[in-house]
Amino acid sequence: MISASKWIAGALVVAFTSFAHADDADSRREDDSFLLLRDAVRQDDASKAEFYAARLNNYSIPSYVDYYRLKSRLKDASSSEIRDFFKRYEGQAIVDRLRNDWLLELGRKRDWATFDEQYPLFILNDDTQVKCYALTSRALKGQKVADEARALLTAPNGYGQPCADLIATLYQNNQFNTEDLYAQLRLSGEYNATGQARRIVALLDGPEKKAVQAVDLPTVAVAKGMGASKVEHQIYIVALGRLAKTSIKLATLALNKATPKMTAHEQQQAWAAIALASSYTLAPETTDYWKRSNGAPLSIDQAQWKARIALRNGDWKTVESTIRAMPPSLRSEPTWIYWLGRSLMGRDGVTSQPSGEALQLFRSISDQSNYYGQLALEETGKLVTIPPAGAPLSQAEIAPMAANPNFQRALKFFSMRLRFEGTREWNWGLRGLNEREHLAAAEFARQNNILDRMVNTSERTRIQVDYTQRFPSPHNDVMHPATQTLGLDKAWVYGLIRQESRFIMDAQSHAGASGLMQVMPSTGRWIAKKIGLADFAQDMLSDVRTNILLGTNYLNMVLGNMDGSQVLATAAYNAGPGRLRTWRATLTKPMDSTVFIESIPYVETRTYVKNVMSNAAYYAALFEGRPQSLKARLGSVAPKGYTEQEEQETSFVPR
């Protein structure tokens, strides 16, 4: 009988045998050919794809070679070829990926019988255009799908032809009316979706050229004035919203001039379009624009920004009414559950323990380990703590993870820096695992230094938790002296790295930022000169020590420029100090940081700051071994140069 230890060792050997020779010349050549195959398919070059696929007959991941070979000629592939692929690789993630591709092709060909057969088998079902085809198929059979379509059709820049066809189908069979189309037209303006605006106007038998001009050349469209028909009025509203993105003043002047020709409802819609653009500037006039829009149906972004501007004004009644009027799917998000609770407290003048509906709202999300869950938890009188870890994982529990073929393929892809494919395979391998197995998979990721997958995998557990997996602190031998020398809060720095790179050392952003702290080359060069680091070269940003040295020094400089506010410095680190100075300049007195963060104009930066500060609270709890207050960490933010005496005179009470 084989002993347990020998079996474990054997399993680990088997798990890595296929990929243990990545440095061999033959393996490198095959990997290069695979990458060229992938690129050829992306470039829609079928002959080149076949050339490289023919060189990979013995590749370590044959399913992907066959996938790319088939995908390169999917439009001409027979149903039997595709079904044969499904059968050969049944259960693999790549089957679901090909089914996604095939469903799009079936929808394009209007082969609804095959589409309807295959759609229930699409496991991830994460493609908006496939969902549009599915609703179109049902609508053509006479099913009522208008409500589902309205909930789905919220971002026109991702519609493509499938969702455009769904809108046309619903309009033609009277499930959508002209108001639905007008709403989609206004939404196209919000999203700069010229093609979608043109298609909507075509359905309404309106002037397509004017629709294109309203989105692309709003100054010209507004200068030409508003036409006589209802659709031309809606086109003009789109043009006003687009113009407001560059000049609020010109847009408001044009609207005031056109007001006599517009119905009261159209005026409200136009003011809502201008109010949304003005919200991004945080200008004081924005409040008036939102008041003038009262009665207009609001898009998702409009509803959220109306609430955010009311938050900045401390207008809790408007915050409450705006949230209650949101669509159920939006209203049920943790963001707006939390702010509805806060609005009820603000409306009633409560400054301590909430009660009634507010308390119920906070309790409903207080078990979530995210920014809003932490804030809600504190509103119920509790602090952020680290749950006790369960029993340590044994190697016997980790060994099956090492033998999992999905994780094996993921490791191969990660070694080739194909993070999309690697992440997809990894996540596919998590399907069906229980919580203990999730922790084992996370530990396997740690052993292979794939910390982003460790974090993501561990975060999926609810009962059995390991916060050392969720909030790792690698390279502490470098980080501790760096932060100690600068007097930086190590928990905050780790919280920032977790959000920036998920500890992927070779992470590269689209903008060119590199490494753990995602330092831009120009920033790295500037900081290196400031601290006297000689012979700086861009590739040094991939070195852990150099990246942490430059990143922490830059963060410390930003923190100093932001008067020691971690909230402001975090926002500046992401969006740039210049933008942050602009946003901060809108303040006339101290503001609760939760409100300031909620109204950051850039969604990326807004999300970034929430996550970094939430992370920092957990890291502090881990490092210090005691409960933490996220609210105290956030505190308030103040205008530049605002004195402590002035702050006391405002009688500001941070909540």
What are the pLDDT digits (tens) for 141-200?
Answer: 999 999 999 999 999 999 999 999 999 999 999 999 999 999 999 999 999 999 999 999
Model pLDDT, residue 20:
45
- Taking alpha carbons only, the member of 541, 566, 547, 546 closest to residue 556 is 566
- Predicted confidence band of residue 507 (pLDDT cuts 50, 70, 90): confident
Residue 519, token pair as written in the block: 């330092």
Cβ of 297: how many Cβ atoms within 10 Å?
A: 16
Model pLDDT, residue 650:
44
Please give the Cα distance from 370 to 19 (Å, whole number): 37
3 state DSSP class of 519: strand
Mean pLDDT value of segment 552-558? 97
Using DSSP bridges, classify how beta strands 636-637 and 591-592 pair: parallel, antiparallel or unpaired: antiparallel
- Measured CA angle at 476 (ends 473, 477), to 5 deg: 160
- Predicted confidence band of residue 22 (pLDDT cuts 50, 70, 90): very low
Place of tokens 């430059």: 550
Residue 102, token pair as written in the block: 């095939």
Model pLDDT, residue 506:
84
What are the pLDDT digits (tens) for 276-334?
Answer: 999 999 999 999 999 999 999 999 999 999 999 999 999 999 999 999 999 999 999 99
Whether the model pTM is above 0.85: yes
Model pLDDT, residue 212:
98
Q: What's the Cα-to-Cα distance from 19 to each of 11, 57, 110, 344, 411, rounded to whole Å?
A: 14, 17, 42, 58, 8
DSSP calls for 259-305: GGGS-HHHHHHHHHHHHHHHHTTT-TTHHHHHHHTTTS---HHHHHH
Please give the Cα distance from 347 to 353 (Å, whole number): 14
Active-site annotation, residues: 500
Main-chain phi, psi angles of 490, to 5 degrees: -60, -35
Strand-pair partners of 591: 637
643 φ/ψ sector (left φ>0, alpha ψ -120 to 50, else beta) = beta
